[in-house]
Amino acid sequence: MNRKSIDHGTRLPVSFSAQELEDIRGCSMIGEEFGRCAAVASKRLHLDLSLDEIEEIQGHIAADANDTLDAKRRQRLDKLFDKFQNFLDRYDDQG
């Protein structure tokens, strides 16, 4: 897959369901403040995040997914991990 080159620090639109946002906020190193400034449209929450932010959040999601004993939560976190990985696979800001 060819990755699209973008300027370092470019913010990309990322949308979340309410459940996804709750799962991210439940991660030990992220907390309740994440997404407070999200725009709401069509029952989705939208945030603009840089690839660095996406990668950092993804790392926290992976850590919590590995630590949780709740199989359903782990599955939801794994899906979120994949969602963020999709951005990292599609874009390159190291140009």
Q: Which residues make Cβ contacts (< 8 Å) with residue 93, sequence separation at least 6? A: 5, 6, 7, 8, 9, 10, 50, 51, 52
By CB atoms closer than 10 A (0-12, 13-18, 19+), residue 57 is buried
pLDDT digit string, tens, across residues 17-76 = 999 999 999 988 898 888 888 899 888 999 999 999 999 999 999 999 999 999 999 999
pLDDT band at 1 (very low <50, low <70, confident <90, very high): low
Query: Does the pLDDT at position 95 exceed 70?
Result: no
Entry pTM: 0.90
Interval 65-84: pLDDT, tens? 999 999 999 999 999 999 99
